[in-house]
């Protein structure tokens, strides 16, 4: 298996009518999401088989779609039960080894990141949307299969003498559980270090009795009581969640396909345009504001524009690896932007739909935070970095603001910049911008009026504010300089600088992912000619270099 496979572009849009690997069934307040992977339905047809309910990016894209649709289209659902095919001995064998073995390194890392983001979104639904996810493991869950279960609020394991949970990456593949497994064991389920150590080096894992004993799962039932026990527990949870979230009532809001079209320099949606530089190293994302009033459906600007932005970021990550720098621009009528923002913030207080819109905007902004590309905000003449859209600027590594002679180029802060859209750290982007300096945050938030370039730089809201003489040259030089630097060094630098302050389970997952996957996945012990990942499934054993570094 080579590592130079040039994979075709990835499409991140799907619909339950087109799912090949998941079956979604709604029964009142309980949704059952059955993982029934089509062996021949891999993202790269003919190159590997998805045996033992293993998954690739295509399987995860469907799961991500289901998590979003359940929140918007099925507000009556209180419990989402993830399970495997009836009668199967395997719930999920984890990420497909053949796919990992042949995938380019950058694809592996982006695959693991997308999988992590989807699982964090599952946890977000449980925490904020009154949809509690539970894993009903009716067969063995190993590797990424158990990591999916770890993202759920409760884990149930069938007790049949065969089913087990395991994280076998270290003993079998020479890598690590790359989708949050170790972090969720220690930070979420609070396992003792020695028990976690034994578990992660025991390839066969723990069956039900020991899994319950060591808190690797929450409940177990024998096969004869499995259907009745899981149904009763799901109903019990659903009743509890319904009592806590009475606002989630009424019909759902369908999510229509995005309108995307190719352009001479990239592609465009209704509100977002992506322009690729001629050298393929720099891309510009321009997000335009609304042209009409807010409305309570999926085409309202606040939801549609952020769905478009989310899709654009994913396509840039996977399909345009050479792009190392994204320039972020905005356009639009400020009063209309503020009207849409006010509808979202006020509506979120009592209407589940507007609350979900706000939560989706927050998730998209965190996707931007977590994108392994340099981000520069270009606040030029005609920009519309106000309130919610100013969060885009705050998410960037640098902000360049044009200082026009008459001071008409301005930014505006609103309630949206006071923690409505928290980062993965739990901090607002303003708090993260001024670490240890609450006075600076207070000074910024005292600004009730439009802020021109000179004041913005004085307050620390922008990196630089060149005038009309220096603007073009300073921005051009900054872009050219950034594009000339090592992308590996920049990824490491940005990951450290973007997430200052105390860590959370989520930031640990992403930070360790960058370290683990960018190092271990390139070491000969894993992917060399005789590495464990390369040799998996062959009769020969891997050959390790036993020097520790």
State pLDDT tens for residues 223-243. 999 999 999 999 999 999 999
Q: Which residues does residue 232 pair with via DSSP β-bridges, in sequence order?
A: none
Q: How far apart are CA 500 and CA 298, in angstroms?
A: 35
pLDDT in tens, 90-101: 999 999 999 988
How far apart, in Å, are the Cα atoms of 221 and each of 206, 410, 474? 15, 62, 66
* CA 434 from centre of chain: 25
Q: Kindly state the tokens that stand for 56.
A: 């690739």
Extents of the domains making up the chain? 16-244, 261-492
Closest CA to 308 of 277, 334, 273, 281: 273
- Strands 22-27, 30-35: pairing is antiparallel
Q: Which residues contact 72 (CB under 8 A, 6 or more apart)?
A: 252, 253, 254, 255, 298, 353, 356
| Domain 16-244 identical in fold to domain 261-492 | yes
Q: Which two tokens stand for residue 481?
A: 């300089």
Three-state secondary structure of 489-529:
HHHHHHHHHHCCCCCCHHHHHHHHHHHHHHHHCCCHHHHCC
Measured between alpha carbons, how far is 24 from 39 in angstroms, rounded to an integer? Answer: 19
> Smallest Cα–Cα separation from 145: which of 260, 60, 271?
60
Provide the terminal-to-terminal Cα distance of the chain, rounded to the nearest Å.
27
16-244: CATH, from 3.90.1150.10, 1.25.40.80, 3.90.226.10, 1.20.58.220: 3.90.226.10
Per-residue confidence (pLDDT) for residue 320, from 0 to 100:
96
**DSSP state string for 125-160:** HHHHSS-EEEEEESSEEETHHHHHHHTSSEEEEEES
| Composition of the chain by helix, strand, coil, percent to 5 | 45, 15, 40
Q: Give the other-Cβ count within 10 Å of 497's Cβ.
A: 10
Within 8 A by CB and 6+ apart from 167, the residues are 142, 143, 146, 147, 177, 181, 182, 185, 199, 200, 205
Neighbouring CB atoms inside 10 A of 408's CB total 11
**Rounded Cα–Cα distance for residues 57 and 54 (Å):** 11
The runs of H, that is alpha helices, within 384-504 are: 390-395, 429-433, 438-445, 453-459, 471-484, 487-498
Q: Give the residues across from 22 on adjacent strands.
A: 35
The stretches of 6-104 forming alpha helices (DSSP H) are 57-73, 97-102
Which residues are paired to 92 by β-bridges? 141
- Write down the H helix ranges in 26-56: none
Please report the pLDDT score of residue 1 as a whole number. 39
What's domain 261-492's architecture?
Alpha-Beta Complex (3.90)
Counted residue by residue, the chain has a size of 549
- pLDDT computed for residue 105 by the predictor: 85
pLDDT of residue 517: 67
Instruction: Give dist(CA 326, CA 276) in Å, integer.
Output: 9
Which residue has tokens 């054993």? 541
Residue 2, pLDDT score: 42
pLDDT per residue, tens digit, the chain (549 aa), is 345 578 899 999 999 999 999 999 999 999 999 999 999 999 999 999 999 999 999 999 999 999 999 999 999 999 999 999 998 999 999 999 999 888 888 898 899 999 999 999 999 999 999 999 999 999 999 999 999 999 999 999 999 999 999 999 999 988 888 778 999 999 999 999 999 999 999 999 999 999 999 999 999 999 999 999 999 999 999 999 999 999 898 899 999 999 999 999 999 999 999 999 988 999 999 999 999 999 999 999 999 999 999 999 999 999 999 999 999 999 999 999 999 999 999 999 999 999 999 999 999 999 999 999 999 999 999 999 999 999 999 999 999 999 999 999 999 999 999 999 999 999 999 999 999 899 999 999 999 999 999 999 999 999 999 999 999 999 999 999 999 999 989 988 998 899 988 899 999 888 887 677 678 888 899 888 898 888 888 889 999 999 887
Burial zone of 483 (CB within 10 Å; 0-12 exposed, 13-18 middle, 19+ buried): middle
The DSSP bridge pattern shows strands 398-401 and 410-411 to be unpaired
What is the bridge-based pairing of β-strands 22-27 and 261-262?
A: unpaired
């Amino acid at each position: 298996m080579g590592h130079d496979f040039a994979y075709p572009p990835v499409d991140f849009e799907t619909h339950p009518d087109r799912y090949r690997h998941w079956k979604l069934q709604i029964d009142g307040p309980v949704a059952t999401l059955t993982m029934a992977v089509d062996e021949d339905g891999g993202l790269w047809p003919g190159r590997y088989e998805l045996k033992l309910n293993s998954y690739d990016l295509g399987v995860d894209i469907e799961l991500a779609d289901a998590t979003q649709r359940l929140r918007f289209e099925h507000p009556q659902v209180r419990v989402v039960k993830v399970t495997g095919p009836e009668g199967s001995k395997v719930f999920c064998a984890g990420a497909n080894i053949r796919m990992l073995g042949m995938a380019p390194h950058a694809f592996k890392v982006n695959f693991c990141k997308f999988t992590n983001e989807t699982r964090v979104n599952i946890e977000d639904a449980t925490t904020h949307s009154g949809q509690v996810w539970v894993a009903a493991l009716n067969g063995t869950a190993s590797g990424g299969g158990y990591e999916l279960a770890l993202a759920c609020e409760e884990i149930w394991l069938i007790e049949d003498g065969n089913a087990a949970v395991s994280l076998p990456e270290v003993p079998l593949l020479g890598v690590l559980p790359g989708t949050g497994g170790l972090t969720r064991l220690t930070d979420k389920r609070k396992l003792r270090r020695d028990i976690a150590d034994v578990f992660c080096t025991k390839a066969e894992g723990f069956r039900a009795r020991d899994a319950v004993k060591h808190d690797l799962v929450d409940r177990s039932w024998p096969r004869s009581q499995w259907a009745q026990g899981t149904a009763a527990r799901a109903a019990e949870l659903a009743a509890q969640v319904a009592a806590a979230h009475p606002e989630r009532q009424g019909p759902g809001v369908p999510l229509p396909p995005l309108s995307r079209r190719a352009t001479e320099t990239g592609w465009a949606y209704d509100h977002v345009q992506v322009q690729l530089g001629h050298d393929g190293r720099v891309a510009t994302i321009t997000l335009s504001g609304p042209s009409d009033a807010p409305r309570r459906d999926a085409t309202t600007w606040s939801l549609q524009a952020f769905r478009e932005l989310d899709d654009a970021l994913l396509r840039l990550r996977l399909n345009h690896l050479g792009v190392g720098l994204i320039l972020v621009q905005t356009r639009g009528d400020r009063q209309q932007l503020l009207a849409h923002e006010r509808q979202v913030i006020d509506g979120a207080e009592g209407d589940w739909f507007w609350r979900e819109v706000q939560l989706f905007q927050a998730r998209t902004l965190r996707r931007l935070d977590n994108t392994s590309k340099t981000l520069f905000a270009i606040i030029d003449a005609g920009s519309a970095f106000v309130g919610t859209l100013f969060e885009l600027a705050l998410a960037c590594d640098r902000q360049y603001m044009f200082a026009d002679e008459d001071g008409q180029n301005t930014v505006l802060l609103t309630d949206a910049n006071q923690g409505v859209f928290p980062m993965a750290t739990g901090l607002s982007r303003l708090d993260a911008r001024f670490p240890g300096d609450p006075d600076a945050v207070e000074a910024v938030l005292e600004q009730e009026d439009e802020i021109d370039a000179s004041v913005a730089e004085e307050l620390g809201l922008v990196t630089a504010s060149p005038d009309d003489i220096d603007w073009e040259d300073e921005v051009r030089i900054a872009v050219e300089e950034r594009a000339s630097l090592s992308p590996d060094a920049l990824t490491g630098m940005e990951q450290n600088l973007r997430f200052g302050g105390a860590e959370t389970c989520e930031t640990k997952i992403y930070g360790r992912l960058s370290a683990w996957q960018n190092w271990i996945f390139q070491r000969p012990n894993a992917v060399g000619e005789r590495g464990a990942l390369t040799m998996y499934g062959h009769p020969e054993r891997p050959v390790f270099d036993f020097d520790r570094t």
